Amino acid sequence: DGGITQSPKYLFRKEGQNVTLSCEQNLNHDAMYWYRQDPGQGLRLIYYSQIVNDFQKGDIAEGYSVSREKKESFPLTVTSAQKNPTAFYLCASSYRGTGNEQFFGPGTRLTVL
Amino acid sequence: AQSVTQLDSQVPVFEEAPVELRCNYSSSVSVYLFWYVQYPNQGLQLLLKYLSGSTLVKGINGFEAEFNKSQTSFHLRKPSVHISDTAEYFCAVIFYNQGGKLIFGQGTELSVKP
């Protein structure tokens, strides 16, 4: 069964700690994306990667980092530099090329205590 | 900056009534257009998309949307809604000169009441 998995579904973090969110896909997609969702603001792009070992900053990359060592995996680290990290985080993937549908994972809800 | 605007943050409607969720975008450049649906605490699912061709696009769950280039709009419609359509709906646009990035509207919360 092809799809995108994100883990964990809920994550709690103390202030000052880094935390890594997992995203795995078995759709054979080249491109992967991380979005942040806040109430009333839609989705905002954090980072994206069109190919292994390459990634670009999105609109709100400050306080986040990513890696793309494997085609299937695109983990997101929320660092202590992120001022307001409590949010719903969504990972997506697609085939390369403009206009291709992005497929979304189920999301991870991060709460900073 | 190019942007996407969903004109209604919340739309309450009775079951079996028609509904229209409005979406406008800011630019006159060529675009690809999408509508996604999100059920509570879940990811997004594609309802329909417009890439080229006929301006009336049919999607899943009985939804359709019409691309109007002169009005830079892509409104989503359903002739008769069900309780199960209660969800948040997002309009999203790829602008040709934005490197393929998907720009999302703020979302419209559709609430279907019996």
Cβ separation B41–A105 shorter than 8 A: no
Nearest residue of chain B to residue A102 (CA atoms): B46
A73 secondary structure, DSSP code: B
Chain A residues lying within 8 Å of B43, measured CB to CB? 4, 6, 90, 104-107
* Residues B44-90: tens digit of each pLDDT: 999 999 998 899 999 999 999 999 999 999 999 999 999 999 999 99
* Residues B103-114: tens digit of each pLDDT: 999 999 999 999
Cα–Cα distance for residue pair A63/A81, rounded to 1 Å:
5
Nearest residue of chain B to residue A6 (CA atoms): B43
* Residues B8-32: tens digit of each pLDDT: 999 999 999 999 999 999 977 888 9
What type of residue sits at position B109? E
Cα–Cα distance for residue pair B26/B16, rounded to 1 Å:
32
Cβ separation B51–A41 shorter than 8 A: no
Nearest residue of chain B to residue A90 (CA atoms): B43
- Helix, strand, or coil (residue B95): strand
Cβ separation B32–A98 shorter than 8 A: yes
pLDDT surpassing 90 at residue A100: no
pLDDT at residue B101, as a whole number? 85
Q: What is the mean pLDDT of chain A?
A: 93
